[in-house]
Amino acid sequence: MTDRDLLHIPIALLLIRHPYAKDFFTILGLPSTARQVTVEAFFASLDQDHIDNLGLIREELGLRLEAFIAQMEKLKSGKAPTLQSITLCGGRDKDGRLENIRLELRPGDVVSVVGPTGSGKSRLLADVECLAQGDTPSGRHLLIDGQAPDESLWLGGEQRLVAQLSQNMNFVMDVSVREFLTLHADSRLVTDSEAAVAQIFSTAVLLAGEPFTLDTPVTALSGGQSRALMIADVACLSASPIVLIDEIENAGVDRRKALDLLVKQEKIVLLATHDPLLALLGQRRLVIRNGGIADIIATSDVERTLLHKLNSFDRKFSELRDRVRHGQRLNFDLDEFLAECIRPAGHPGED
C-alpha cells in the first residue's frame, strides 16, 4: 500500500486492515464517531495548535502513519533479532596508531569503557551502534556472529540490534507515562500489554530517585526519571540484544539495579563511565586513551571484594547527598560515620 492509498481510505477501513493503527489516531485525538472520514480529511481537520503541541507537522502525518504501519507489519512477520556474538576489530587511535584488538562479546557480557574526558568512549559506543565497517574516524569494524553484518541488520525501531541509552531523552509526543508504555507494548504486539506496562512502570520507579506516576506526562519527567523509564523499557520490552549506556551516573538512576536488570536479560552491555565503582561492575573494562583501546582489564577477585566494601561507602555517601538534596543540614560525627561505612553491610548478592 502506498502513502497515497493510505490517505484516501476511510479510517474505519484502515483500522480493519491495521487494527494496531488505532493508537496512532487516538494520540491525534480522533473521536470514535469520526471513523468514516478519510485519513486525509482527518489530518486536514486537525487543529493547528493541537498538532504543534504534539510536536508534529501536518504534511508529515501521512508519512508517519505509513512508517508506523510498515514497521508493525515487519514486526508481525519478523522475530526478535538474536545473536551469538559481536566482535570488535580494532582500528586506529587519534594519531593513526593501530589498536591491534579483537574483542568478542557474548550475551550476558558487561564491559565498561573507561578513559579521560575526550578520550573516545562515546566514539567506541557509536562505532558499535552503527556497526562500523571502517567508515568512522576510528576505522573500527564490527562483526556479527563472526561475519560482516548484512543489510538486513540495519533495521529501525523495535528490531534494532542495538538500543542506546543516552542522557538526552527527547519525547516528542506529550502523552502520559501510561499511554507511552501502552503504545510501546502494543507496538511490540505484547499480548497482555497492561501487565507489561505495570511491570515496566514498577521497575522504572524502583530505578528513579524521585517517584512519578503513570499519569505523569512524559515531557514532565526529570532527566533521571526518563532515563529510568527508558532503562526499564529496554530491559523489559526491547528486543535489542545489545545495550549501550553512556554516562549513567549523572542521571539520578539507581545504577546498580539498572545494570543488574539489564544483565538478567542476557544482553551485551557496553557501559561508558567516569565512575570507578560502576566500571568495576563489568567483567572487563576497556581503557581508552587518545581514541584507541589501550588495554583490556579483567575485573579481579581483589577488585570484586573491594567493590563490595566500596559500595557500602558509596551507599553511605549517597545518603548524605540525598540529605543535602532534600534541604537538610549535615551534622554528624565523622569517626562514627566512617566506622559505619566499614562495618560489614551484609547485603546479599553484592559480589
Ligand X SMILES: Nc1ncnc2c1ncn2[C@@H]1O[C@H](COP(=O)(O)OP(=O)(O)OP(=O)(O)O)[C@@H](O)[C@H]1O
127 near ligand X, judged by CB under 6 A:
no
Size (the chain), residues: 351
252 near ligand X, judged by CB under 6 A:
no
- Per the rule left: phi > 0, alpha: psi between -120 and 50, beta: everything else, 55 is left
292 near ligand X, judged by CB under 6 A:
yes
Size of interface with ligand X, in residues (CB under 6 A):
15
Task: Report what 291 binds from ligand X, Mg ion, none; CB cut-off 5-8 Å by kind.
Answer: ligand X
Q: Which 75-94 residues touch ligand X, going by CB under 6 A?
A: 92-94
DSSP 8-state symbol, 86? E
Alpha-carbon span 334 to 340, nearest angstrom:
10
Measured in degrees and rounded to the nearest 5, phi and psi for residue 289 equal: -135, 130
For ligand X, the closer CB: 50 or 97: 97
Per-position x/- string for 106-145, each x denoting binding to Mg ion as judged by CB under 5 A, each - no binding: ----------------x-----------------------
Q: How near is the Cβ of 138 to Mg ion at its closest, in Å?
A: 14
CA-CA-CA-CA torsion for 275, 276, 281, 287, nearest 10 degrees? 100
For ligand X, the closer CB: 123 or 255: 123
Size of interface with Mg ion, in residues (CB under 5 A):
1
138 near ligand X, judged by CB under 6 A:
yes
Yes or no: say if 140 and 127 are a contact pair by the CB < 8 Å rule. yes
35 near ligand X, judged by CB under 6 A:
no
Q: In angstroms, what CA-CA distances link 313 with 306, 308, 322, 348?
A: 11, 9, 14, 16
Alpha-carbon span 124 to 242, nearest angstrom:
14
Q: How near is the Cβ of 121 to Mg ion at its closest, in Å?
A: 5
119 near ligand X, judged by CB under 6 A:
yes
Q: In the complex, which residues of this chain contact ligand X (CB under 6 A)? A: 92-94, 115, 117-123, 137-138, 291-292
